[in-house]
Each structure stands twice: as C-alpha cells, then as structure tokens.
Amino acid sequence: MTSVADYGRRHGACWAANRTIALGLALHEKTVAAALREVEGELVLSEHHAPTGTLARRVRPVAEDELAVTVSAVARNCLSGHRFKVYCAISVRSDLGQAVSAAQLAEACGMTPEGARTTARDLVADGWVSRVGSRGGAFKYTVHPAQLSGVAVQLGLFPQPRQSARPDAVVGLEDVVGEWVCAGQLALFGDGSVEETPLDSAPETPLDRLPETPLAAAPLTGHSQQARVNRHLSVVGCCSRVAETLVTRDAGAREGGPLRPGPGVVGASVGPLRGEQPKIAAATVPVVLGGGCPGVARSPRSAGSVFGLPDALRVALTPVDDLWQRLNGTSTREFVAGRVWAELRRIAMWSGREAAPEVLAGRLSRRLDRQQGSALVTDPVGWLLSRGLPQEQVCARTSCDDGIRLDTGALCDTCEMRLADRRATRSAVVAQALAGMPGADYADRQGAIEERLREHAFVKAEQQMTARRRAEEQRFRDEADRPVREAAAAAAEEERVAVPCADCGAERSAGLCGICWCRREARAAITEAVNAALTTVDLRDRDAVNALTRQVRDGMRTAMLAARPARELGLDAHAVANSDMLAAKNRATDYRQEALALLAQSPEAEQEAKQASDAVRRAGHRYRSTEDLRDAVTAAAHEARWHTAHHLYGQRHRAVEQLRERTRALRQPQEGGTVSRYEAALATVTAFGGTA
C-alpha cells in the first residue's frame, strides 16, 4: 500500500503494473498481485482508465472519523524498530495538528520517555521530521515522506535549540540568517525559481536507492593518522556550523571513485535532493579548515573531537562531544579517559562488555539533558567526574542508575514502587485534609492541604531521625558488648577443642583427631565399594556374597597400599591416613561405575532400550534422513539403558543396606539371651525370600 501511495504522490494515481511494483520491492509478481487483492476495495481503490483500460490504483483517503495516516514506502523500508514506531506516532499527531511530548510518544510506542525523546531527536537530525516550538516539553512536528538530506540548513528557518559555546571569532548562525538565505534552503523549500520541491520530485520507482549517505558517515578505518587528516566541508553559501561534515582522505578511494558531495553537502548547483547527483571532483568542493564561514580561524577545540578514539570511548563520549572538545591538554584528556574506562568496567559487570558503551552514553545524555545543554557547563572536567560519570543509585537496588536498571535497561521496579507509595501517601493525606472542610473555598483547601503535607513530612522526618538514633545507640551497645561476646566464643571453642579423640584417645582433638577421621572415611569408602559390588550378585547366594566381599576388600587394600607415598620421604601418620582415604574413595567410585555398566547389560535394561527404540522408530517419518533416524534410535536406547541401570542400582543398593541393618540388629544380644549364628542366617535368608 505504501508503494502505491508513493507512485501516486506525483500523478494522483499509481499506473505501475504489478511487475514494476514487484521489481521495486524485490518480490515475486504473484506475491504482489495476491497482496493487492487483499487490500483492494478497503485500503486501495482501483479503476480502469478508458479507452486504454489501464488499471489505476490510489490509496483510499482517510475519513474524518478514522485515526490513521499513510506512511511512505521509503520510510517503511529505511526505518525499523522504535524509530518506525515513533515516526508513525508523530505522523498521527502531525495529521491531527497537535503537539506531542516525549511522554505521549512513549505511551503510544511502548517505550520509556527517555528513549522516545532520544529517538525523536534522531529523526529530526536525520531529516525525517521537523519540529518547532517547545511548550511544556511538547513539540509540533512536520513529517516528511522521504529523508531530507540537507536538513541541517533548516535551522535558519526554525527556532534554534540551545547551542554550545563557540569561539568569539566564529560567526553565529543567528547573526547571518536575517540578511540572506542559504542556497540549501532554496533547494529544500523552493523560492519560485526552483522547478520542483524535494517532496514533489519523486523518482520513477519509489524504492529506488536513496542518495548516498553523507561522507560524515564513512566508517573509521582505524589508521593512526585518520583523526588528523579529517577536514571540514561547508555547504556552499551557508555559514551554519551544523552543516560541517567530516571527510577522510581515503574516502574517495574507498567509494571507488572521486569524492562526491553527499546529501549533506549541496554542491555547485541547486537541484533536487533525491535521485542521481552530479559527480564533481574533490577540488571543486571548497575546503574550510576552520569550519563555518571561509576566512575564519580554526578553533583549537576542534582538534579534540571524539572521532579517532577507540570504539568504546567514542560511543560513550558521543553525547558529550562538546565537553570533550573543551578539554585542553593531553594529560587532562588522558585522565578523563581513564575515569571513563573505569566506569565502563563497572557498568560491564551488569550489562556486559558489548553494551557498556551504549549504557554510559545514555547516562551522559540524561545528565546533559538535566543540565539543559552543554552550554551551561562551566567546568567540563568537574561536571564529567562529579555529575556525568558516577552512578546515581536512587533506591536500594545496586543496579539502579537514575531509575533505570543497568542489567536489563528497563525502569527500576523498586523506584516505581517507591514513587507509587509516595503518590498514594500524598493522595491519602490530601483526601484526609479535604474530608474535614467540605464547604471551604479553593484557597482554604490549598492552605489546609499544604499544612497537612507539611505536618506529614515533619512526622516522617522525625521518624527517620528516631530510627537513625536508635540504630546508632544499638551500634554503640554492640561495640561495648563485643569483648564479652568474643570471650564467650573463645571459651566455647576451648571447651570444644579440649574433648579427646573418641577412637585413639588423643588429647585436645575436638572429639576426633585428623588421623582417625581419615580412617573412618576410608572404612566408609570400603563399605560403599562392597555395597556397590553386591548390587550385581544374588544376595541369597551366601558363598557368592562372601567371595565378592573378600575380593573387593582385597582390591581396596591393594589400591590403598599402592597409592601410599614412599617410605624414603619420611611422611608421618597424617599423610598416610590421608592417602588411604583418597585412594579408597577413588576406588569406590570405580566399583560403582563397574556396577552400573554391568546393570546396563541386564535383561531389564535391554528390554527398556528395545521399547525406547521402537517408540522412536514409530515416529521415524519426522526425521529427514535414515541416518538421523538411526542416530535418534541409538541415543534413545542408550539413554533408556542407563536410566534403567541407575534405577536397578538404587533399588539393589537399598536392599543391601537393609540387609546390613538386619544382620547388625540380629548379631546384637537381645534382652533375656543371645541369638545363635544359625538363627541370624535363617532370618537373613528368609527376609530375601530364600530357604535355609
């Protein structure tokens, strides 16, 4: 629909065939025909022009009771994301003739007010919209269907925003606008002698390539001398310092030809701003080293631009480029750059290394907007170190910065809750104040409300002072009681350490010395290894159980002896006990893995693996090839086999533990007599379903 609107903007109707529109949109002709059939009759009106019968299409005008606007295809293709949302919201407001603020744009586009304000500023700078007036933070916008390439010279016709300080020798734009008009303004707005305005001179195809980007957008090559060979180009016949662009020395070579003035540079002729521009040599473009009007001396501040800095510093310091240019001295810039790097490292802990420069740039933009521009900053170094770079944590959340979270970039919910709580408290206080004076006039009500709010603030401050005083008193009491608490803790620790070892009787062992603890851990590892091995045999076979138990214990003993350090080293008993413990634990892990491998080959595991494989084969039509199906069957069988092995291991391990507990209980003497070995064995075998 936007393509039809762009074609019809010049002749009133779109006479292009489906093939022409498809070529412009890089789509198939049938796809364009199907899309046009869907919108014809509702959004696009079609009619046959007699006598040739050519189909003419035009976009249906928006009715008075509809809230809609038509957006050009150029804007739809060039803008995306939040930029396109804000562009559409501004288009609706502009069509209604209403001013719009950043808060209204944020509510309509689902974004933060700061983001809406920044996006609208970018759209103005790129030439998609123009704005005038600022009543209560709301601007009145004028929307352009295509990007106005020479929008920088429009500042002569619209009220200028606050600009940064400039040297006395540089002539301001406000000093020359009243006397003459720039040639770029004639190309933008027309003075009667120009054939067409930029908006009327639409190309033959609405999706033709836009003019080349300004040479200021040429990427930095990283060469060490690139920042020093940048030169300023001025618009012919325009003294605006805003129209300066940066051109690298190798820009023409990288573009594949001689230098060409981009949309931001109006060359030797005044022509349409869209379509092909005449190629001119680099020598025909006047080079002004100082920027602004010819003959004016170059300001020393221009040498300190952020262009040529590392990428992270350049992105972070772009909002404060004016302040960076005002830093005189290499040592000062190095000191500030070091502080910026330190702040980037702190931000990277929350947002990551890649997003840290953008986060810091957003912080500097917010702080500069709060300062109402860089012109009011008298001390750039002090402002950057004290107000621009430090994090301002509004609430108790450590990731909060000016009410915005550093980790997610969203609004801080803690700050939102605190703000909502304050608003709710104020509403309650106001309602309570108005309830007692129903018949009072406006002045009396306002006075009562202010008095009640003042009393509430006084009570709140008094409560905070009381809480702070109590916390201070508690801290003093804790400091006074600290020696007593430390003495009690030392006495308890001395009492705990004085207990002798329960196994060897060593004094001051806290109940168990290090050697005995290692020996207990080694015995527990041996028991665990025996239990793991017993999960693979029939527990009712007493001979097999005894033989496997002896084999495991001998293997554990051999592993511990082999792992002991050599006697020539003269190691003490602590080292030997620790070596035995580590060797026993490692060997117990090996026995467990061997038991799992044997259980994975059991009939139960094979049956589960077969069922899992059959289930995957039944869904074989979902796989793209036989190899993929074979891999999926193998993986499913392997997973089912090992899941079954773990299940069987856990089940049999619990059975072994229960057998040990019953055997231990039967071996202990009971009240009134003892239990014979025959009775203990009979009870054990009976418990597992065997016969004596």
Show the beta-strand stretches assigned E in 324-419.
Answer: 400-401, 404-405
> Do 520 and 660 have their domain in common?
yes
Sheet of 138-143, strand order: 100-101, 138-143, 129-135
Instruction: Return the pLDDT at 301.
Output: 38
Rg (CA), the chain: 42
User: Do the domain assignments include residue 185?
Assistant: no
Quickly count: other Cβ atoms within 10 Å of residue 232's Cβ.
18
pLDDT of residue 43: 67
pLDDT band at 1 (very low <50, low <70, confident <90, very high): low
> Domains in the chain: how many in total?
4
Stretch 390-394: mean pLDDT, rounded?
87
Higher pLDDT, 109 or 680: 109
One-letter amino acid at 75 equals: A
Local structure of 484: helix, strand or coil = helix
Mean pLDDT of 52-73: 69
Residue 326 is assigned to a structural domain of this protein: yes
Give dist(CA 395, CA 417) in Å, integer: 10
Neighbouring CB atoms inside 10 A of 531's CB total 23
Q: How far apart are CA 315 and CA 353, in angstroms?
A: 13
Looking at the predicted structure, is the pLDDT value of residue 234 above 70?
A: no
- pLDDT-derived band at 53 (thresholds 50, 70, 90) equals low
Q: Please tell me which residue, 250 or 351, carries the higher pLDDT value.
A: 351
* Mean pLDDT, residues 215-229: 38
Last residue of a domain, one of 433, 459, 481: 481
- 188 found inside a domain: no
Q: How much is the pLDDT for 654?
A: 92
**Cα Dmax for the chain:** 127
Helix (H) and strand (E) counts for the chain?
Answer: 23, 9
**Nearest-5° Cα angle at 629, 623 to 635:** 125
Mean pLDDT of the chain: 74
pLDDT of residue 482: 94
Give helix 626-667 / helix 603-618 axis angle, nearest 10°: 150
Distance CA 139, CA 90 (A): 10
Instruction: At 527, give phi and psi (nearest 5°).
Output: -65, -40
- Answer yes or no: are the C-beta atoms of 514 and 508 closer than 8 Å: no
Compute how many other C-beta atoms are within 10 angstroms of the C-beta atom of residue 230. 19
Q: How far apart (Å, rounded) are the C-alpha atoms in residues 347 and 316? A: 12
pLDDT score at 98 = 84
Specify the pLDDT at position 182: 42
Fill in the amino acid letter for 298. Answer: R
Map tokens 């007593």 to a residue.
Answer: 484
C-alpha distance from residue 621 to each of 572, 618, 626, 634, 637 (Å): 67, 8, 10, 16, 18
Say yes or no to pLDDT of 261 above 60: no
- The angle, 0 to 180 degrees and rounded to 10, between the axes of the packed helices 330-351 and 356-370 is 110
Nearby residues of 19 by Cβ (< 8 Å), 6 or more positions away: 29
* Strands (E) located in 211-316: 231-233, 245-247
Neighbours of 23 (CB within 10 A): 15
User: Are 588 and 645 in the same domain?
Assistant: yes
SS3 state of residue 274: coil
Same domain, 127 and 22: yes
- Structure confidence at residue 231 (pLDDT): 36
Q: Do residue 611 and residue 644 come from a single domain?
A: yes
Separation of alpha carbons 27 and 3, rounded Å = 13
623 and 635 in contact (C-beta within 8 Å)? no
CA dist., res. 216 & res. 520, Å (int): 76
Confidence of residue 216 (pLDDT cuts 50, 70, 90): very low
**Residue range(s) defining the domain that contains residue 624:** 514-666
For 353-380, write each residue's pLDDT tens digit: 889 999 999 999 999 998 888 888 889 9
| 656 and 526 in a common domain | yes
Same domain, 369 and 465: no
Q: Which two tokens stand for residue 421?
A: 């709580």
Give domain status of residue 161, yes or no: no
Q: Is pLDDT above 50 for 583?
A: yes
User: What mean pLDDT do residues 335-355 have?
Assistant: 91
Question: What is the pLDDT, as a whole number, of residue 101?
Answer: 87
Q: Which residue has the higher pLDDT, 33 or 518?
A: 518
Structure confidence at residue 274 (pLDDT): 40
pTM score over 0.85: no
> Quick one: DSSP state of residue 12?
S
Long-range Cβ pairs for the range 483-488 (8 Å, 24+)? none
Residue 278's pLDDT band, with cuts at 50, 70 and 90, is very low
Residues sharing a CB contact under 8 Å with residue 100, sequence separation 6 or more, in sequence order = 89, 90, 93, 138, 139, 141
Asked whether the predicted pLDDT for residue 340 surpasses 90, the reply is yes
pLDDT tens-digit readout, 589-633 = 999 999 999 999 999 999 999 999 999 999 988 898 999 999 999
- Per-residue pLDDT, 486: 95
More confident residue, 475 or 674: 475
Q: Which of 150-154, 417-421, 635-639 has the highest mean pLDDT?
A: 635-639
**Which three-class secondary structure state does DSSP give residue 206?**
coil
3-state SS record for 157-205: CCCCCCCCCCCCCCCCHHHCCCCCCCHHHHHHHCCCCCCCCCCCCCCCC
Whether the CB-CB separation of 100 and 141 falls below 8 Å is answered with yes
**Residue 654 forms part of a structural domain:** yes
Give 295 or 489, the one with higher predicted confidence.
489
Q: Which residue has the higher pLDDT, 72 or 191?
A: 72
Let me know whether 425 and 390 are in one domain.
no
Give the pLDDT of residue 649.
94
pLDDT of residue 308: 59
**Whether 267 contacts 278, CB under 8 Å:** yes
- Same-domain status, 405 and 423: no
Where a domain ends, among 143, 158, 180?
143
519/658 same-domain check: yes
Provide DSSP, 278-295. Answer: ----GGGSPB-TTSSSTT
pLDDT band at 127 (very low <50, low <70, confident <90, very high): confident
According to DSSP, residue 673 is labeled B
pLDDT: which is higher, 225 or 133: 133
Q: What does the block give as tokens for 147?
A: 């990007």
What is the percent of the chain with per-residue pLDDT over 90, rounded to a whole number? 27
Domain membership flag for residue 207: no
pLDDT greater at residue 224 or residue 320: 320
194 pLDDT higher than 90: no
Q: Give the tens place of pLDDT for each residue, 511-570.
A: 899 999 999 999 999 999 999 999 998 888 888 889 999 999 999 999 999 988 877 666
Q: How far is CA 471 from CA 52, 291, 466, 654, in A?
A: 92, 61, 9, 55
- Report the 10 Å Cβ neighbour count for 550: 11
**Residue holding tokens 């606007």?**
69
Q: Are strands 400-401 and 138-143 parallel, antiparallel or unpaired?
A: unpaired
Do 597 and 545 share a structural domain? yes
The answer to whether position 257 is within a domain reads no
**Residue 149 domain flag:** no
Q: How many CB atoms lie within 10 A of CB 456?
A: 16
60 or 223: which leads in pLDDT: 60
Other CB atoms within a 10 A radius of the CB of residue 10 amount to 16
Single-letter amino acid code for the residue at 469: R
In a shared domain, residues 108 and 14:
yes
Tell me the C-alpha distance between 170 and 256, whole Å.
Answer: 35
The pLDDT value recorded for residue 676 is: 53
Residue 86 maps to which CATH number? 1.10.10.10
The reply to whether 472 and 520 lie within a common domain is: no
485 pLDDT higher than 80: yes
- pLDDT of 283 above 90: no
Query: What are all long-range contacts of 434-439, with beta carbons under 8 Å and residues at least 24 apart?
Result: none
DSSP result, 68-133: -----HHHHHH--HHHHHHHHHHHHHHHHT--EEHHHHHHHHTS-HHHHHHHHHHHHHHTSEEEEE
